[in-house]
Amino acid sequence: MKTHKLFENDTHTWFMFGRDPHKPDKIIDTNQYMVVTNENALLMDPGGIELFSSMLTTIIKSVPIEKITHVFASHQDPDIISSLGLWDQVLENSTLHSPWLWEGFIRHFGMQSITYSPIPDEGERLTLDGVHLDFIPAHYLHSSGNFNVFDPTSGILMSGDIGAALESDEAPLEVDDFEAHIPKMKLFHQRWMPSNEAKLDWVRRVRELDVQMMCPQHGRIFKGENVAKFLDWFENLEVGVLNKK
Amino acid sequence: MENTFVVTAVIVSNIYATMRICRRLTLTASNAKALAMQAGDSAAGFRPLTDYINRYASITTSSSAQINEMACELSRIATEKDKTDRVLNHLSKVYKNAYDSPHLSSMDVARNKIRLRQQALHDAYTQLLQSLNSELDDMSGELRSANIVVTMSRIEALQATSIHQNALNNVADNVENVTESIKELISDAQRLVIELKKQSQ
Ligand SMILES: [Fe+2]
Ligand SMILES: [Fe+2]
């Protein structure tokens, strides 16, 4: 699995992990993210069981394990958090931030030592060593209880399944040609996202943020003007449709 | 060799079936008691036997309930241990692949903790398997003694008046059939427990 540093200043660093060449076939390629502050680290959407040893191997190249004091799961999907039962055994004194809606479901992945911190529907702010990270509501995009993570300092928006693209695990990290990228995203958003109303509300709220980089859980990162292009494209896309070209 | 979970599940289901059959035995015991009262003097020797059948029914019932609990607990411990086995397998990959990582030693605390837990679960599993084994042995000892009751009931039936003869034979048949069914289930469970013991060594 490869590590990419997305942002670094004197208070915190953003990492992206992904494009794993050892990933078993037939499982969807995923991007995992981590924010490291002075004393702590927040691991976001750590992925499925199949990825666990690869993820752990990669992470401890950057930080000691005890630094991972916080974990975030945007929603309940297996590609997001089915590794929980394994993390639960290796993390000490760690907290999982996840939608309140999914607590009873996510616990099925196995959770005895990690503490579940339910995120209320309206979202909340996590502050790690003075670094603010906002859990922003993204309900019904696609999961009915779902959050993004926004870092106001770096302008990074970890957008979960929003902005996801289905493509090979050798794909470049960033979107270079937005128009060419559309076919890789269209089906995913139309089929997995159920609500146009939720979509429009999210687009309106995200436009108010100063997003420099939008980082989805599958596919490529959107930077600069591609963020605005994505918001325009998504705003006009009809979602919740089946078999529509 | 079959998977541990499948084997423990089969043991649990055998014991569950045993518990259900034991209920039939309880019913037979109370029927026998009623019969002994009706038969009066012509079945005087049968009366102490009904007490014996009653005791037999309650022993097998409580013993199978206890075995059932042990088998369920065994399955739970096996699941917990499997979790530690899995995570340790993952960790051995991490130790191999992150050998050059400056933070690899930060994993030592977690790995040691999981190893200790794995060992504790292994010990608990072995111990419980041993107790389950001896509980099953006790139960099959109890089942062997049922043969005496059956034989004595048949002897009593010969001495009773003809109207009660059939009924007394019927009680003997019931005890015999139930015991045979339980015997089969228990010896199956014993065989599986031995298999698990071999696996865990
Ligand atoms: Fe998802
Ligand atoms: Fe996903």
User: What domains are defined for chain A?
Assistant: 2-236 (3.60.15.10)
- Chains A & B: contacts with CB separation below 8 Å: 55
More confident residue, A171 or A152: A152
Strand (E) or helix (H) holding A135 = strand A131-137
Q: Are B7 and B192 in contact (CB under 8 A)?
A: yes
Length of chain B: 201
- Structural domain including B20 reads 4-73+132-200
Q: pLDDT tier at A202 (50, 70, 90 boundaries)?
A: very high
| Residue B108 Cα, gap to closest chain A Cα (Å) | 10
Average pLDDT of the residues in A31-54? 97
Q: pLDDT tier at B44 (50, 70, 90 boundaries)?
A: confident
Q: Of B82, B107, B118, which to mutate for an interface test with A (greatest number of A Cβ within 10 Å)? A: B107
Q: pLDDT tier at A132 (50, 70, 90 boundaries)?
A: very high
The answer on pLDDT for B165 being more than 90 is no
> What is the predicted ipTM?
0.89
> Over pLDDT 90: what percentage of chain B?
58
CB spacing of A61 vs B103 below 8 angstroms? yes
CB spacing of B114 vs A56 below 8 angstroms? no
Chain B CA closest to residue A57:
B94
- Out of A14-18, A143-147, B172-176, pick the least confident: B172-176
Chain B CA closest to residue A65:
B106
CB spacing of A89 vs B83 below 8 angstroms? yes
Q: pLDDT tier at B42 (50, 70, 90 boundaries)?
A: confident
Average pLDDT of the residues in A53-63? 95
Strand order in A95-99's β-sheet? A2-8, A13-18, A32-36, A41-44, A68-72, A95-99, A115-119
Residue A196 is predicted with a pLDDT of 97
Chain B CA closest to residue A88:
B87
pTM: 0.89
Q: Which residues pair with A160 in a beta bridge?
A: A216
Average pLDDT of the residues in A161-189? 94
Give domain status of residue B50, yes or no.
yes
Average pLDDT, chain A: 96
CA of B20 to the centre of ligand 2 (A): 47
Give per-residue pLDDT as tens, B72-107: 999 999 999 999 999 999 999 999 999 999 999 999
Chain A CA closest to residue B105:
A64
Q: pLDDT tier at A244 (50, 70, 90 boundaries)?
A: low
| Three-class secondary structure assignment of chain A | CEEEEEEECCCCEEEEEECCCCCCCCCCCCCEEEEECCCCEEEECCCCHHHHHHHHHHHCCCCCHHHEEEEECCCCCHHHHCCHHHHHHHCCCCEEEEEHHHHHHHHHHCCCCCEEEEECCCCEEEEECCEEEEEEECCCCCCCCCEEEEECCCCEEEEECCCCCCCCCCCCCECCCHHHHHHHHHHHHHHHCCCHHHHHHHHHHHHCCCCCEEEECCCCEEECHHHHHHHHHHHHCCCCCCCCC
- What residues of A are in the B interface, CB distance below 8 Å? 52-53, 56-57, 60-66, 85-86, 89-92, 110
Q: pLDDT tier at B1 (50, 70, 90 boundaries)?
A: very low
Give domain status of residue B83, yes or no.
no
The answer on pLDDT for A245 being more than 60 is no
Average pLDDT, chain B: 90
- Using CB atoms, pick whichever of B84, B98, B109 lies closest to residue A61: B98
The answer on pLDDT for B41 being more than 80 is no
Residue B162 is predicted with a pLDDT of 77
Give domain status of residue B108, yes or no.
no
Give domain status of residue B90, yes or no.
no
Number of domains present in the structure of chain B: 1
Give per-residue pLDDT as tens, B104-156: 999 999 999 999 999 999 999 999 999 999 999 999 999 998 888 889 888 88
> Over pLDDT 70: what percentage of chain B?
99
- Using CB atoms, pick whichever of A56, A85, A110 lies closest to residue B94: A56
A64 contacts in chain B (CB < 8 Å): 103, 106
Give domain status of residue B185, yes or no.
yes
Residue A177 is predicted with a pLDDT of 97
Q: pLDDT tier at A235 (50, 70, 90 boundaries)?
A: very high
Q: Are A161 and A217 in contact (CB under 8 A)?
A: yes
> Over pLDDT 70: what percentage of chain A?
99
Give domain status of residue B52, yes or no.
yes
- Using CB atoms, pick whichever of B83, B90, B114 lies closest to residue A53: B90
Give domain status of residue B116, yes or no.
no
Give domain status of residue B35, yes or no.
yes
